[in-house]
């Protein structure tokens, strides 16, 4: 697909996908999960009975949850914990196999940063390497927008990966502005399309 011109699912297509997912729920949990993953729909909501609502446009994506998934996925990728990843060019990794020196240093820097960052900016960020389960959406966004520019600097084997992630963070910060004009929206759309295209390369 062209990332600037993605096909939009119609209301009718969305409802058909939801019904298709629900049809197998009783027979096979595995098939339900597979269909749900393929369609991005977990079933037909009760609100589908309200004729004035048009899915999926009536409920836009939740920005926080998108970030709560993307940032941990990237950390998993950089630490060899991303599932179903084929071996390839691995210059994006923080450490050599079996070594967690860089990952541990990043985690310690995250945890100790709470001593100098006022609580006004958000909760303390846990140690990324030892307290991963304590991260919340707020912790991930603070890590990404406030800490990662410093703690990830010179941590990748190839600088291009740091620059690529910082481009993502610039786009996230643009999204978090209190006001957006048309040029900001255009930059967000085109910027994320460029970022994803580069990521998939």
Chain segment 157-176, per-residue pLDDT in tens: 889 999 999 999 999 999 99
Q: Domain spans of the chain?
A: 1-60, 63-200
Measured at the CA of 109, the angle between CA 107 and CA 111, to 5 degrees, comes to 70
Residues of the chain with pLDDT > 70, as a percent, come to: 95
pLDDT for position 86: 55
Residues whose CB is less than 8 angstroms from the CB of residue 185 and which lie 6 or more positions away in sequence, other chains included: none
| Residue 176, both tokens | 């978090």
pLDDT for position 79: 84
pLDDT for position 172: 94
- Cβ neighbours, 10 Å, residue 85: 11
pLDDT at 70 over 80: yes
- CA dist 100 and 129 (Å) reads 9
- Reported pTM: 0.76
């Amino acid at each position: 697909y062209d990332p600037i011109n993605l096909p939009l699912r119609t209301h009718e297509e969305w409802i058909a996908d939801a019904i298709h997912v629900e049809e197998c729920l009783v027979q096979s949990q595995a098939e339900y999960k597979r269909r749900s993953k393929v369609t991005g729909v977990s079933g037909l909501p009760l609100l589908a009975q309200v004729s004035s609502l048009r899915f999926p446009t009536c409920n836009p994506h939740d920005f926080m949850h998108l970030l709560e998934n993307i940032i941990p996925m990237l950390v998993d990728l950089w630490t060899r914990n991303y599932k179903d990843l084929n071996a390839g060019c691995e210059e994006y990794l923080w450490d050599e196999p079996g070594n967690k020196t860089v990952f541990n240093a990043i985690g310690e820097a995250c945890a100790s940063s709470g001593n100098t960052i006022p609580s006004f900016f958000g909760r303390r960020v846990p140690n990324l390497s030892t307290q991963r389960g304590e991260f919340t959406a707020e912790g991930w966004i603070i890590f990404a927008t406030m800490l990662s520019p410093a703690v990830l600097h010179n941590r990748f084997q190839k600088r291009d990966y740091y620059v690529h992630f910082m481009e993502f963070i610039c786009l996230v910060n643009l999204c978090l502005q209190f006001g957006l004009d048309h040029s900001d929206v255009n930059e967000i759309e085109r910027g994320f399309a460029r970022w994803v295209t580069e990521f998939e390369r």
